[in-house]
Amino acid sequence: MCDVKSSICDVRGGGGDRSEDALLLAPSLGLGGGIERYLAAVEGALNRSGVRVRRVDLLTPGCRPTPAAKAAFASRALVAARQYAPVRCLLVGHPGLVPVAVPVAALARPDRSFIAFHGTDIWGTPALRRTLLAWASRARPLTVSSFSAGALLSFGVPVVLPPGIDPLWRQILQETPRRAGADRPPVVLTVFRLSAWRGKGLPELAEAIQHVRERLGEVRLVVAGQGPAPSDLVRLLARVDNAELRVSPSDVELAELYADADLFTLCTRTRVRPPCTGEGFGIVLVEAQLAGCPVVAPFSGGSADAHIAGITGWSPADESADALAALVLRLLSDRGGLAEAGRRARAWARMATEPDAYAERAGQLLLGVINS
Q: For 307-372, give the DSSP string.
A: S-BTTTEE--SSSSHHHHHHHHHHHHT-HHHHHHHHHHHHHHHHHHT-HHHHHHHHHHHHH-----
User: What crossing angle do the helices spanning 283-290 and 34-48 adopt, rounded to 10°?
Assistant: 70
* Predicted pLDDT of residue 280: 83
* Predicted pLDDT of residue 293: 97
User: What crossing angle do the helices spanning 231-238 and 202-216 adopt, rounded to 10°?
Assistant: 10
Which pLDDT tens digits describe the chain residue by residue (372 residues)?
454 434 444 433 333 444 458 999 999 998 877 788 899 999 999 998 888 999 999 999 989 999 999 999 999 999 999 999 999 999 999 988 989 999 999 999 999 999 998 877 776 666 666 666 666 667 888 999 988 888 787 777 889 999 999 999 999 999 999 988 778 899 999 999 999 999 999 999 999 999 999 999 999 999 999 889 999 999 999 999 999 999 999 999 999 999 999 999 999 998 777 777 778 899 999 999 999 999 999 998 889 999 999 999 999 999 999 999 999 999 999 999 999 999 999 999 999 999 999 999 999 999 886 554
Are the C-beta atoms of 173 and 264 separated by less than 8 Å? no
* Predicted pLDDT of residue 199: 93
CA–CA distance, 14 with 52 (Å, rounded to integer): 9
* Predicted pLDDT of residue 259: 96
pTM of the model: 0.85
Cα–Cα–Cα angle for 329, 252, 93, nearest 5°? 90
CA–CA distance, 134 with 129 (Å, rounded to integer): 9
* Predicted pLDDT of residue 137: 62
* Predicted pLDDT of residue 155: 73
> From edge to edge, which strands make up the β-sheet containing 220-225?
243-247, 220-225, 187-191, 263-265, 295-296, 313-314
* Predicted pLDDT of residue 18: 45
* Predicted pLDDT of residue 127: 66
* Predicted pLDDT of residue 347: 97
Are the C-beta atoms of 283 and 306 separated by less than 8 Å? yes
Strand spans (E) along 135-267: 140-143, 159-160, 187-191, 220-225, 243-247, 263-265
Q: Which of 130, 145, 131, 53 is nearest to 90 (CA)?
A: 53
Q: Which of 104, 111, 114 is nearest to 56 (CA)?
A: 104
CA–CA distance, 160 with 361 (Å, rounded to integer): 10
Where does 217-313 have alpha helices with state H?
Answer: 231-238, 251-260, 283-290
Q: What structural domains and CATH numbers belong to the chain?
A: 18-164+354-367 (3.40.50.2000), 168-352 (3.40.50.2000)
